[in-house]
Every structure is written in structure tokens, then in C-alpha cells.
Structure 1
Amino acid sequence: MPPCDAPAAVATCPAPAYIERYYCKSSGRTRLMKIIIIGAGLVGSSLAEHLLHQGHAIAVIEQNHLRCEQLGDKLDVLVVEGSGSNPEDLENAGIENADMLVASTPVDEVNLTACMIARQYEVPHRIARIRNADFITGNNRMKAEHFGITKVIYPEENTLNAVLNLVETPFAIDAQDFAHRSILLRSYRITGDMPIAHRNLMELRNDPLGNNLLVVAIIRDEEVIIPRGDTVIEPGDKPLFIFPRDARDKVLKLVGVDAGEKVKAIVFGDTHTAINIARALQKEIDTVIYIDPDLEHGNLAATKLHGIDVLHGSGEDVDVLKEANVRFADFFIAASEHNDENVMSCLLAKSEGAREAIAIVNNDRHIDLFLSIGINHIINPRQLTANGILDAILPGYVSAALHIQKTDIDVLRLYVSANAPVAHKPLKRSWKRVLGVSIVGAVLRDDAMIIPTGDTILLPDDLVIVFTRAVGIRRVRKLFGSDEQALASSHA
């Protein structure tokens, strides 16, 4: 941990009730759950794999025979070929003894029915993936609890937040938020002209620009470094930062970005997602232009996007992009119905001078290829939905999409027991055994998330997010009492 006397940053973060189901505070032991997942597409299979890795008992219901076979061959889970809206299939999956049901299909009606049935079986926690915005906009007739849902996951919101994360921190190569977007996790590729370059972390924490910044890992020439106070950030490094939202402008200055610079974005698409992105960006940046390939949908967009220029045309038409002055665009965001169209329009926008291109793609094929040929960011709504559900179940979940997850770094989520060696001591004392191998990235305490310093004292029942090299996992777990204290790694 950085040996620093700076106060820890704290953000309010209401803790989900689900955590109480698998952690018993009185005994300090992990209590595993029986979880039923409806749907074995990208969302459901990702959930099953991760939650199985946590040690929970998983049952999956899926209608598609091939998906059932593939999931059964890949994971040690109970697979039921059937429908989540069929009580008999739910009984075959063990709903009578289930602790949680996660309805993750792309069909709202199936997810609603599954949750209503689960309520009849008194399943305590019922999470549903819902596309209909009425369930989150306060419509009294469409309250989620009326349908037996205890937690709604709205894919549109996850996609929108992913775009905003990238736009509000230009040039970031990784972006994730915690605690209702009040804690930011970002990664940048460092260049020699950035103010942060050639400085050690102790110096940064004593700098007003960096006193709320925590560097949890550095990727350097394919090697991963867990930093210490004397670690120097060098050009070419890709450090992973955690900082509170109110420190954003200061962190941007450290990486050479002018937070006060005027920003222009072009949004291309014929979807409600595209309209919502344009509307949200209008509140955050100076200029937004909307391009719609569908004339009828474009007319609808024009009635909803007041103060935004709406153009009709294809994102793959260079004349349309020139009309939108794409060469002056800081961001080009493609959110049409068609993945190929989004990829091609981003590549064309980049070739015409757009600074950053963001493509929304609904599958995980060829993502590395798309990034290697010039697209800056690929946003996969289905993977974001899976991540959103995992964050609801596992507070502080760190996305497996981050570059750091392609290394030997594990992200552990650990509870502090009353008799743990790490409890009741400042981290600069208790963390000496794993210094340089592991680092505490954040602490969830009651309804707050804390960015720690060397003076932070861990208390019983704190949930601690630890970034660690693989060689440090056992030593870290011993600091927290035993291996059973760990909710396990989020490194798949």
C-alpha cells in the first residue's frame, strides 16, 4: 500500500442485500448459494461460468438443444432443456431450494414470468434482465416488485454508461465505474510528454493533482507490476488507476488531457440506444450530431433530440461523414442494428480524422481483430449485461474485459473476519508481507466504497477488493483468515 497520510476517498454505495445470503457475519464464513440461471446465451453462460468459479451450485435452463450440449460439455452445472416460464422445468432445476433466480434471456416476457413463478416458490432473490424502460422510470403501473423482481438489470443503461465512461475520460484504454459511477477505474497508455511520466507514486500522492489517485497495477512490456511507493511510471506503461469522480479533472491533467476542452461527438444509428446516447451526451459535451440511416426513424429522432443536428444517411458514406465534419469529431459512436455496419462506419470515420471510434457490437467474435485495425473501443451490450448482473450479486465486481485481466493479475474479493491478521491495523503495517505482490484497490464498508491509503484500517465485515499477482494469492488469503474467507477471484 502507498505509505501516505492523505485521507481515503469515500463514496456512498448502497450495498445489495444479496451479499448477506452467502456471507454469515456471525461465523465469518462464506455461505454458498444455489442459483438458477434462465438462458444460456452469452449473458447466461458468462454468469454460469463466473458464479461456478465462485463455488456456487448452478442450474441453467435453456430451450436450445445445441446450447444445452455445449454448456454441459464446458461446465459442471445442471443443465435443464426447457423454458424458464414453465414451472415443471423450474422444478427440475431445483427451484424449491433455490436461493436466487437470474432471468437473463433477451425476452422480457420470459424473464417476468420466471420471476413471478420464483416468487411463488419463495426464492429470496430474483434478478431479471429487462429491456422495457418503464420498469426503471418510475411508472407506477410497471413496478418491478409487482412482477416478483427484486433487482432489474437494464441493458440499455449499462451500454449508455459504458459510452459515457469513455467520453468523460478521453484516450482511456480501459474504463469501469463503481458505487453508482462515483468511483472510477481507468487505464491509460503513458507517453513521455504526460505530466505523470517519470514520477514515482510517493511523489504523485504528495502532489495535489494525484493525492486521490491510487495506482493498483502497471503493465510494462507485457510484465505486470504491483507498484510500491518508489515505483516510477515510465513512458509506454499502462497503469490502472482508481480515483473518485471529483478527482477526474486532476487525473486528466496528469495524463495530458484538457478537461475544459470543447468536445464534439457524432452518433450513428437507427436504434433507441443511439438516440439515448445522443441525448445523454448532449448533457455532457459541447456538440452532438446524429446520423440516422433510416429516414422514418431519423424523423422520430429529430422530434426527441432538441438542439441536435439530425442527418439522414449511411455511416459508410464518406460524403455523409464529411457533411457532419467528422474530421473535427473527438468521438464517433456507431450504434446501429447491424454489427458490420457499426464496425465499417467506425473504420471510415477514423480514416476521415475522428479521434476516437466506439463501435457497439452484439457478439464477442473478432473483437481483438477490430481493435487491432483501428477501432478504439468495442462495447458489447450482452457482456455488459452479464457484468451488471455480477455486480448486483458480487459488489465491486471488476470486469473481465479489462486489459489487466489478460495478465497474471487476479482480482480477489475478500471479507475481513474479526480475528483476521489484517483487521484493526493500518494497511502500511498489516500489508508488509505482501507489499509489491498485492495491493488493496477498494474497501466496501456499510454503504460506502473507500479508496484506501496506507493509514486505512480494515474492520470486521469490510469487503476488500485486492489486486494481486498469482504468487501472492495464498499469502493474501491468510491475511484475511483462511481460504474460505475469499469469495474467489474474478479472473476467469
Structure 2
Amino acid sequence: MRIIVVGAGEVGSSIAASLCGTHEVVVVDIDPDRVSDLTYELDVLAIEGDGGDRTTLQEAGIGDADLVIASTDDDETNIVTCGTADTLGDAFTICRVKGTQYLDTWRNADGAFGIDFMVCTVLLTAESVVRLIGLPAAQDVDTFSGGAVRMAQFEVPVDSPVADQTVAEADRWDSLTFAAIVRDEEFVIPSGDTYIRADDEVIVIGSPECVREFAADLSPRSAGPDDIVIVGGSEVGFQTARLLEERGFRPRLIEREGERARQLAEDLPKTTVMESDATDRDFLEREHVGDADVVVTALDNDEKNLLAALLAKRLGAQRTVSLTETGAYVQLFEAVGVDVAVNPRETVAEEITRFTREQRAENVAIIEDDRAEVLELTVDEGSSLADRAIRESVPDLPAGTVIGAITRDGSLVTPRGETVIRPGDHVVLFVNTEDIDAVAAQV
């Protein structure tokens, strides 16, 4: 495919890097320094110019483009870019926005703005945070097969009862598969006698119930969130609280600005909104924030988010999830004591990349900075997996490929060596990114 990416910031550069290995990618940006950097860093055609300008898009080859991705930091620029692209060719358009009002308009008016697919940074970030809250110790969570299958990535705590057990000892559920272990930044495909070590990251695939039970076994002290505190009434903080209310939680939210706090209290009937500075230690102690199961810091500043998270952790909060607008800070936040750091730009870049890859798969989860993926594929009549037991067919797949789950007629089938895969089955597989094309061709 010929793909035009407009905007070469964190989001656009990440998307371009993910796609340029298998597609012809053109990147457009108004900043000459970014254009120059991309020319040397990636195998892309980088063009200086305004993505909303007709002449620039024509120079980028809009007439031959299959896909246009508008990913600048300005919502209106992205909308105009997609609208202009829609008048110049037949390319599928993807628009990134921060404001939920644009997403609402697009969803409720078919074909609004000339945009085929819209992603909202705020809403995606809030959804990611809520998924993480729901599973203790989880670093990443995704669902497949209409919710019948869940993939989760966990860090093994030092004091976890699972640490130093073999996979066979740790696997006490019929519908759970240990897909991979990340150890010293390398993937280990586990067998029954593989030991799970403290600080490993374990990727499991199975039913939501079994994944939840494994999470509880992995970290027994984090049986499940009850008291959830959100620090900051930003749009992400508001959307996180709203989604939690929809799931039956009654979170607490701390907002410093009085008028915003009053508005949030009106809009969030099941949330206790407190007007205060989240770095006021006396207030935090008085409100027992240190007793919280999860503290989410969603302020408008990376440094404030880090400070609030570390203070909550010091007061005794069991788990902290912190936002950072700077992708390079994710590892720093987690290194100094934040349990999980979430970068909204990285979240939306993964979502857009995921969408482009769903042409080959029904659902995709990107693992470890796109070094591996979990794919959901439907088995065809001519598939090398069809009507064969897994122990017979897996050796034909690229090394490191793991069949994590199967759904058949809406029901979950746990894959074991003797399981026979049938045409029409949905299979969820862990695959090294470099092997995706080969696996998709065989399934």
C-alpha cells in the first residue's frame, strides 16, 4: 500500500516506523528539521509542507494513495487534511483527534468531514487506563473474539508466589495459555518446565475469568480494585471516571480548580469529587489516599503526574497508573516507582497501526514496541491448520508462534496438543512481527 502520514511528531513518526517495512510510506510535515531527520532515520519519502494543502498532497502522490493518516497535534488540521484528501482521491482516511466532541459528531453523522475512521486520543487513553485498573499487576490488556478471549501482559513481582515456579506449576486453569515470557528484553517461548522468574513479564491468553484468576495468584495482595482515586480532572481524568462508573465503580476524583470540580461533580453522579491540591500531603492523609487500591494521575503536566504518583505510593497506595505526554518518560516513570506509565501519543499510534494491520487479521495487539503481535485470524478451508491436531500443525508455523486460544461458534476452546482446529475457527496467536505475513498466509 501507498500510505501518506501527515504529521511527523511522536505519533506520526511511530506510525511511519511501524509501517515502512512493508508499505510505501510518505510523511508530510511543516517542520523542516523533522523532515530532514526522517529522511535519514526511516525508509520513507519525507516532504516538507502543509498536509491540508492541495498542492502538498498532490506532491505526496494522493492520487495513488491507499491510505491517508492525519496525525498532527492539532485536531482542526487533521480534519481539514482528511477532508482535502477526500476530494483528491479514493484513499481511506484516518483522523486523530483529542476532542471527544469531534468524535461524537463523526459517529453520529455518517461520512462527516470526509473521514473514514477517527481515533480519539483522550478516549483511547481512558479506555487503556480502565483496562489496566481491572487487572492487578497488568502492563497491557486486550480482548479478542468479541470479549471471549483476553490477552494480558504482567510483570512478576519479587514477592509473587508464582516466582520460581515452573509454567506447569503456575498453570492451574483449563482455559489459559502461557504465550511468552519477556526476560532481559528477549522473548522466551515457555514449555511446562520453564521457570517463571521475578521481574519477568508474562504474556497469557485465555478466558477473561482465568486471566483474572491468574492475576490474583500472581499478586495476591492486589485481589481487585475497590477504592480508586483519580488525580486531576482533565478530560482524560473525566473520561476515566465516566468509564469506571459505567462498570459499576464509585471512584474518587481530586481536582484543584473550583469551577472545574463543581462541573465534574454534576457530570459524574457516582464519583466523589474533592476540590484540593493533589500534592497536599495533609489532605491526602486526611482522605486516606494511601489506602487506595489504585491511584491514577491524570494532571496536565508530566512532572506533576510523577510527583503525585510517587507521593501516593509513599503514603501506601497499592498501585499507581500515571500519564506522561513524553514517550521517552515511560521507562523513567516505571524505573523510579510508578507501577504503569501510559503515554497517550503511544496509545493512539498503536491504535492506528493496529487498524492498518486488521486488513490481515480481525484483531491485533502490539507487544513490546512492535516486536511481536497477538493476532486473531479465521481458519480457511485451505489453511495448513485446518483439520489437523495442533501438535501436528504448529511445527509448520514459524518458530516462536504460539496458538493461545480458539473460539468455535462463539465458545472458547482451549488449545492443547491434541486439539483439532476446524475451518471457521477463530484462532488467537502470539507471533513475532517479522513472521506475521508468513503466518497469515498459512492460516
- The bucket for the TM-score relative to the shorter chain is 0.7 to 0.9
1:417-476 CA distance string (max 9 Å, x none): 8766545422211123679844234679999998744325275997864435x9xx78x9
After the TM superposition, which residues 411-490 of structure 1 pair with which residues of structure 2 at under 5 Å, given as runs?
Answer: 411=373, 421-432=384-395, 437-441=400-404, 452-454=415-417, 455-457=419-421, 459=423, 465-468=429-432, 485=441
Distance 1:252 1:37 in 2: 38
SS in 1 for 2:270: coil
Structure 1 residue 50 corresponds to structure 2 residue 18: yes
> 8 Å contact 1:188–1:240 — kept in the other structure?
no
**Pick from 352, 362, 382: which aligns with 1:389?**
352
**Pick from 109, 113, 118: which aligns with 1:152?**
118
SS in 1 for 2:366: coil
User: Counterpart of 1:99?
Assistant: 66
User: Counterpart of 1:130?
Assistant: 97
Distance 1:412 1:193 in 2: 26
Q: Deviation of residue 290 (structure 1)?
A: 1.0
User: Counterpart of 2:6?
Assistant: 38
After the TM superposition, which residues 289-304 of structure 1 pair with which residues of structure 2 at under 5 Å, given as runs?
Answer: 289-304=252-267
Distance 1:449 1:143 in 2: 36
Structure 1 residue 172 corresponds to structure 2 residue 135: no
User: Counterpart of 1:109?
Assistant: 76
Distance 2:297 2:414 in 1: 34
**Pick from 365, 374, 379: which aligns with 2:342?**
379
User: Counterpart of 2:288?
Assistant: 325
TM-score, structure 2 length as denominator?
A: 0.85
Instruction: Name the amino acid aligned to 2:34.
Output: R
**Pick from 66, 72, 75: which aligns with 2:39?**
72
Distance 1:36 1:355 in 2: 44
Structure 1 residue 62 corresponds to structure 2 residue 65: no
Distance 2:409 2:30 in 1: 40
Structure 1 residue 163 corresponds to structure 2 residue 126: no
Structure 1 residue 351 corresponds to structure 2 residue 314: yes
Instruction: Name the amino acid aligned to 2:123.
Output: E
Structure 1 pair 437/68, CA: closer, same or farther in 2 (3 Å)?
closer
Which ranges of structure 2 fall in alignment gaps of 5 or more residues?
Answer: none
Structure 1 pair 83/317, CA: closer, same or farther in 2 (3 Å)?
same
Distance 1:446 1:37 in 2: 39
Q: After alignment, is 415-424 or 116-125 more displaced?
A: 415-424
Distance 2:244 2:136 in 1: 14
CA-based RMSD of the aligned residues comes to 3.6
Identity percentage over the alignment?
25
Distance 1:449 1:42 in 2: 38
Instruction: Name the amino acid aligned to 2:121.
Output: P
1:397-427 CA distance string (max 9 Å, x none): 333446xx6xxx6448698787665454222
Structure 1 residue 273 corresponds to structure 2 residue 236: yes
Distance 1:180 1:450 in 2: 14
Distance 2:76 2:278 in 1: 34
Which ranges of structure 1 fall in alignment gaps of 5 or more residues?
Answer: 1-32, 488-492
TM-score, structure 1 length as denominator?
A: 0.77
> 8 Å contact 1:101–1:125 — kept in the other structure?
yes
> 8 Å contact 1:390–1:397 — kept in the other structure?
no
Distance 2:292 2:248 in 1: 12
**Pick from 336, 340, 344: which aligns with 2:303?**
340
Distance 1:216 1:160 in 2: 27
User: Counterpart of 2:165?
Assistant: 198
